[in-house]
Every structure is written in C-alpha cells, then in structure tokens.
Amino acid sequence: MDRLDNTVRPYAWGSTTAIPHLLGVEPSGEPQAEMWMGAHPGAPSRTARGTLADVIDADPAGELGEAAVATFGPRLPFLLKLLAAGAPLSLQVHPDLAQAKEGYEDEERRGVPVDAGHRNYKDANHKPELICALTEFDGLCGFRDPLRTADLLAGLGVDSLKPYVDLLHARPEEAALREVLTAVLSADREEMARTVAETAAACSRLGGDYAPYADIARHYPGDPGVIAAMLLNHVRLQPGEALFLGAGIPHAYLSGLGVEIMANSDNVLRCGLTPKHVDVPELLRIVRFEAGDPGVLRPEASPDGEEVYETPIDEFRLSRYVLPEGGAAHDLTRPAPQILLCTAGVVRSGETELRPGQSVFVPAGEKAEVTGTGTVFRASVIV
C-alpha cells in the first residue's frame, strides 16, 4: 500500500477555497481546480517507491493484477480526481472508443502534433466519466426536450433567438437539436456576441430558471456556448449524488466540489465556453442528438456497507464507505488495483491514517481494510 502525494492543477476555473478547505490548509489565493490521483503521464501521483506510473511500469501484473493487464493493458485504466469548480468549465463531449481510435489514427496519419492546439484526439481511448458531489454541485448534462427549450428561449423575448425557437418547434427531435446547435456554433461571431449580450441581460432580469445562464454569460461574455448551454438540462446535485457522462453527451460543470473518476484519456471536443479550439464539424459528428433526463445516480448499498455508483463501463468502479463511530472494519481486498480517498473524518487503511484529501494506492490482491469514522471513496476496475 502506497500513500499518494498528488498534484493540484491550478486551472483558471478552479475554486480558490474548496480544495484547501477539504485539506485543512490555508488558501493560497490561486485557483485550485483538480487534484489528480493515478498514473496519468501528465501528473502521476508520487509514492515512496517513485511515481505511480513508474511503479506500475516496473511490474504491471504485480501492481494491477493479471486480469486487469489482460483486459486493459499494462497501465492503470482510470484517473481519480477531486474537482473544484469556481467557474463554469468548457461545454464539451467525449468520443466513444471507435470514434477515438478513428480520430487518433487520422490525426496521426496527417501528422498533427499531439500538443497542437487544434488537435482533437490525444490518444485512442474513450473518456466516460462520473462526478459525485461532495457539496451542492451544479452542472449541465444532455439535451433538454426541444419543446421545453423552445419555451425557455421564447420567454426571454430576444428577437434574434426566434429562429432557434421556430426550428425547435418545427423539426423532429434529432434534427431540431442538430440544426440549432449547428446554427449557434456557425453564426457570425459579432452577431452572436450581440445575441449573447441580450440573452444574458434578459436572464439576469428574469432570474429563476434563467439564473445559471446569466452566470455562465458573466464568465464567458459573447461566447456562442452560452446559447448552446441553454439547450441542455441544468442539474443540481446534492452531496452523495452523481452523474455519469457517456460518449457523445454534451455537458459542463458549473460550480461545486466533487469526486470525479474517468477512463484514462485526454480526448475532449469542445462546444463553447472556452478560448480553446472548437472543431464544429468533428463535434457534430460526435454529439448524440438525443434529449432525455440526465439520470442522477444515487449509490446502491450492499450488505457489507459498500455504496456503489453503478455505470455501464469496466475501466472504473467508484464506491464509498460511510463509517460510523465504533463501526466494524471493512475488508476491501480485491484482485484489482485500488485507490482509496478519504473525504471526511479520520480513517485508517492498515497502518496508514487518512484525513480528508489524503489517498493511498493498493496493488491488486494486497490486503486492505478500512476502520475509523468518516467517508472513504474506493476507485477500482471491474475484472
């Protein structure tokens, strides 16, 4: 079992206080957006034996287990994060596995540098992800029913939104969503900036269901992504609730602190709310133009006290234990790699004490149990 020393990423959208508060340290005044736990080459966790990436590379079967290596290859297939949004993240989608392989091979064949700003596919993997709220957490997830969106836009009284309202009323669901998103992202930037400004002013004036979009526009004035965001479901998670984001589902995190887990990939296609590259044709190829409920997840409790967040993929498995004072020890031994993260209280894993924000890596098959009073998240894979 290895105690992890983890990197905190200072992205501009990060909260200045949420992660320091969880860790019990003084804020630096700088944004602290994500704390990475895993073996991602961009910021691998550090252990007494070296970086976790180096530890795994030295003995993949011993650290990950033969079953995980046979299924996912000789690398940790997931990345665990603490994510603290102080401002909206970019509106984005992720490809499925076939799309990622195709896109990656195409850009490799065309010689697009992997670090180029206009590169879409950094690797050949998909990037499903799960976010579990530690505080109240706001986000956007999946398309709202087009007729409901038409009513929302019409209620603003902005003349330049009327063509979108008409399209949403006149077309079948998939065609309506595709045509409106295409029109928004392809519009003249100066004209769209004026539309966004009028929309933001109306959202601020009306408040209520419009308030989240006013805040988005405050952070991204003139960005077409503000109008694109209004096509999506607004979701407010309570602590312990989660969202699963599968391939092709447009989404954005707006505010709050959560535990995030994802397949080990950097593949992101952006729809807006960003100064970064937006590849509209490729984005439209990847997006699933389907409206539906965002599907808030609540953990399924098992008799041994484990609460599991069920998802349809195998690269990661997230669960938690809420340990009451004086409760029994829980045996967490598995034939697969694990990362244990404490988010509340004081718990012990073997001889290692964990306080909020502290984590350990447990190699496959190594004895692991947790005791104490608090909350522990358990990240692993399905083998």
Q: Which amino acids are annotated catalytic? A: 270
What distance, in Å, lies between the first and last C-alpha atoms of the chain? 20
- Please say whether the beta carbons of 263 and 78 come within 8 A: yes
Q: What is the DSSP string of 233-272?
A: EEEEEPTT-EEEE-TT--EEEEEEEEEEEEES----EEEE
Q: Which amino acid is at 221?
A: P
Task: Give the bridge partners for 236, in sequence order.
Answer: 138
- The CA radius of gyration of the chain, in Å to the nearest whole number, is 22
Helix orientation angle between 211-219 and 189-206, rounded to the nearest 10 degrees:
140
Give SS3 for 39: coil
| CA distances, 160 to each of 98, 199, 218, 355, 368 (Å) | 38, 9, 20, 53, 60
Nearest partner of 343 among 64, 45, 83, 89, judged by Cα? 83
Q: Which residues pair with 352 in a beta bridge?
A: 349
Say whether 101 sits in a helix, a strand or coil: helix
